[in-house]
Amino acid sequence: MNKVVHLISGPRNISTALMYSFAQHPDFKVLDEPFYGYYLAQIRDRETHPMEQEILDNMPNEHQEILMQISDATRDKRVFIKNMAHHCLDPEPYFMKDWQNVILIRDPKKLLQSFAKVIERPDLDAIGIRRAFELMEFFDRQDIAYTVIDSDELMIDPGMYLSQLCEELGITYYPQMTKWPAGPNPADGIWAPYWYKNVHRSTGFAKPKSRFEPELWNNHLEQVYTQALPFYNQLKLKVLLNKNNHATEI
């Protein structure tokens, strides 16, 4: 039995809500961005992240140590890893071949508008969409199975979409996966106060605000959006569609 479900996401993409969802699954424990400290230690040419030094001081910075941490976590339960695509620095991550890989995408305009509220001038690498595309290409070359999901498809009907995802992964779907207690989850990374405020106020999937806020948009974000769009469009070609996506009113 495959013991790791590996979510590859960009920031501001309902990935934390999905982690909270799998935390309600009786067969799983969850790990929150275990490669974050490693990423911060390796990539220095970028904007400073909130609580950066605390993250570096409190997380493994060595790649092999992280893989051992994940392996240890699977001893008593299956594991759901929430991971950021741009934290996956290995150009050929063969260690993912025995994991169930799920690539989560979101319209990059919505993603950038939200992300820029915390990181003012994100670049293409910071939002992970190019790296997600590169990982998809790697999986294709190596014949590694994966599933692409879209946050917009999820929000059409979260229960239906989670059920479809579980079917794709060969695991049991539980209706309680659409709900969780308000407040922090014990698995939260120490960065949660900066990034997870909306999830902490929630008790289930809530559609993120999609209203475009022109006062928050600028030429820099437009440039990054233009760079990101081709990668998003290629990934979207393989998205798992919600079965209610084309439902018509009677």
Q: Per-residue pLDDT for 50 more than 80? A: yes
Looking at residue 46, its pLDDT comes to 84
Give the chain's mean pLDDT: 92
Rg (CA), the chain: 17
Q: Per-residue pLDDT for 5 more than 80? A: yes
Predicted confidence (pLDDT) per residue in 108-147, tens digit: 999 998 888 888 888 999 899 999 999 999 999 999 999 9
Looking at residue 119, its pLDDT comes to 81
Q: Per-residue pLDDT for 157 more than 50? A: yes
Number of C-alpha atoms within 13 angstroms, CB side, residue 153? 21
With a pLDDT cut of 90, the percent of the chain lying above it is 80
Task: Average the pLDDT over each of 3-17, 163-177, 202-216 and give the range with the smallest value.
Answer: 202-216
CA dihedral (228, 149, 103, 97) positive or negative: negative
Predicted confidence band of residue 248 (pLDDT cuts 50, 70, 90): very low
Predicted confidence (pLDDT) per residue in 161-181, tens digit: 999 999 999 999 999 999 999
Domain extent listing, the chain: 4-236
Which residues have CB under 8 Å from 108's CB, separation 6+? 127, 129, 224, 225, 228, 229, 232
Q: Per-residue pLDDT for 228 more than 60? A: yes
pLDDT average, residue stretch 76-104: 96
Which residues have CB under 8 Å from 219's CB, separation 6+? none
Using CB atoms within 10 A of its CB, is residue 27 exposed (0-12), middle (13-18) or buried (19+)? Answer: middle
Task: Average the pLDDT over each of 30-39, 177-186, 199-208 and give the range with the smallest value.
Answer: 199-208
Please say whether the structural domain 4-236 has been given the CATH code 3.40.50.200: no
pLDDT average, residue stretch 34-47: 92
